[in-house]
């Protein structure tokens, strides 16, 4: 396992420090480095906080800034942030209009964010949105929150910036996470630095379909195939699962899981777009890049969101974060 790290113990802290130093125009460390927050807060706006395990960078810290998150809490690799971290962030960034926690549907994250909500409830009004965009249903646990989390954070961030109230944000969050579906594929497993163990191994002829973002195996091992075939497998599953109301704008997001170079992501986007358009889905918005990772996994995920006109406006709303900027 060759990685650019100094030690498994210090890697998360050092990487976060590099991130904050490289983006010091936009973000700062919070109290005792327990979270990262915007350099400038907007008073009277609902505060958006997200977080989770490390290993998914640039998510969530890369999405802190105007039009998106106010703070993000990072735990150890693939391990939730602690309630204490989350409470510290809430105490710091809630400027009076309340706080919305955006949480990916994983047991550890749910437990710790819920505990933080309870701990903060005497001093703050806090609500929570659980993202569950994966097409896979995990027995007894529902769908995982994966790359679609970026879309939820972008839309809620824009709405918060436009002074939407906390109850309306919760409503928007529930509607939004329902209109997004994602599916991932891996060409390699990952090695978790702390354990030095590979989560699964694939030989030269195999791929893993349906992976999440914690190095866990997917729902089936299949033969390696060309990009069109792999993408067809993902897109047809997504299309069978997503609600397709009238007059929607398709947002197609092809996300690298860590080690997939940009040229391949653009090629996969091309395959996905061909396929979706053949199926009558009109793609009006696009995002291609490495935004939600699973350490150094060679793989990608396809996310499709079918957005109403209001949601499309929120997607287009200016955003100024280390990892997403436009408008």
Nearer to a second copy, 46 or 319 (CB): 319
215 forms part of the interface with a second copy (CB under 8 A) = no
Q: Which two tokens stand for residue 174?
A: 């529930």
Sequence-ordered list of residues with C-beta below 8 angstroms from that of 212, at least 6 positions apart, any chain: 134, 136, 144, 146, 184, 218, 294
State the CB neighbour count (10 A cutoff) for residue 15: 17
List, as one string, the DSSP characters of 67-134: TSBSEEEEEEETSPPPHHHHHHHHHHH--SS-EEEEEES-HHHHHHHHHHHHHHTTT--EEEEEE--B
267-306 footprint of a second copy as x/- string (CB under 8 A)? xxxxx-x------------xxx-x--x-xx-x-x------
Nearer to a second copy, 31 or 326 (CB): 326
Q: Among 30-38, 44-52, 55-63, 155-163, which window interacts with a second copy (CB under 8 A)?
A: 55-63
Alpha carbons 218 and 203: distance in angstroms, whole number: 15
Interface with a second copy in residues 135-164 (CB under 8 A): none
222-241 footprint of a second copy as x/- string (CB under 8 A)? --x-xxx-x-----------
In angstroms, give the least distance from the CB of 100 to a second copy.
25
5 forms part of the interface with a second copy (CB under 8 A) = yes
Alpha carbons 243 and 245: distance in angstroms, whole number: 6
Alpha carbons 225 and 43: distance in angstroms, whole number: 52
Nearer to a second copy, 1 or 28 (CB): 1
In angstroms, give the least distance from the CB of 54 to a second copy.
7
* Contact present, 73 and 61 (Cβ < 8 Å): no
Phi, psi of 40 (to 5 degrees): -115, 130
* Contact present, 299 and 184 (Cβ < 8 Å): yes
Phi, psi of 216 (to 5 degrees): -70, 150
Interface with a second copy in residues 58-77 (CB under 8 A): 58, 62
30, 57, 71, 179: residue in contact with a second copy (rule CB under 8 A): 57
Element (H, E) at 287: strand 283-289
9, 22, 33, 121: residue in contact with a second copy (rule CB under 8 A): 22
State the CB neighbour count (10 A cutoff) for residue 308: 15
In angstroms, give the least distance from the CB of 254 to a second copy.
8
Q: Among 78-86, 103-111, 131-139, 254-262, which window interacts with a second copy (CB under 8 A)?
A: 254-262
317 forms part of the interface with a second copy (CB under 8 A) = no
Residues that bind a second copy (CB under 8 A): 1-7, 11, 14-19, 21-23, 54-55, 57-58, 62, 187-188, 204, 207, 224, 226-228, 230, 258-271, 273, 286-288, 290, 293, 295-296, 298, 300, 325-326
């Amino acid at each position: 396992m060759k990685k650019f790290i100094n030690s498994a113990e210090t890697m998360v802290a050092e990487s976060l420090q590099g991130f904050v130093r490289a983006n010091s125009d936009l973000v700062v460390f919070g109290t005792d480095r327990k979270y990262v927050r915007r350099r400038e807060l907007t008073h009277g706006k609902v505060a958006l906080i997200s977080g989770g395990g490390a290993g998914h960078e640039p998510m969530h810290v890369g999405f802190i800034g105007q039009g998106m998150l106010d703070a993000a809490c990072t735990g150890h690799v693939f391990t939730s942030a602690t309630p204490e971290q989350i409470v510290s962030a809430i105490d710091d960034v809630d400027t009076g209009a309340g706080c919305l926690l955006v949480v990916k549907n994983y047991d550890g994250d749910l437990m710790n964010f819920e505990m933080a909500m309870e701990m903060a409830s005497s001093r703050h009004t806090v609500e929570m949105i659980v993202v569950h965009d994966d097409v896979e249903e995990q027995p007894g646990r529902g769908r995982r929150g994966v790359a679609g989390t970026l879309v939820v954070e972008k839309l809620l961030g824009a709405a918060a910036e436009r002074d939407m109230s906390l109850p309306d944000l919760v409503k928007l969050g529930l509607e939004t996470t329902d209109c997004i579906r994602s599916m991932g594929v891996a060409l390699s497993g990952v090695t978790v630095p702390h354990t030095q163990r590979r989560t699964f191994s694939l030989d030269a002829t195999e791929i893993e379909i349906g992976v999440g973002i914690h190095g866990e195996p997917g729902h089936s091992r299949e033969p390696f195939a060309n990009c069109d075939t792999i993408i067809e497998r993902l897109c047809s599953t997504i299309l069978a699962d997503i609600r397709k109301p009238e007059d929607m704008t398709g947002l197609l997001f092809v996300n690298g899981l860590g080690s997939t170079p940009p040229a391949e992501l653009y090629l996969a986007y091309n395959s996905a777009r061909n396929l979706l358009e053949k199926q009558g889905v009109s793609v009006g918005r696009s995002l291609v890049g490495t935004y939600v990772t699973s350490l150094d996994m060679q793989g990608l995920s396809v996310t499709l969101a079918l957005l109403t006109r209001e949601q499309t406006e929120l997607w287009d709303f200016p955003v100024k974060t280390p990892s997403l900027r436009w408008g």
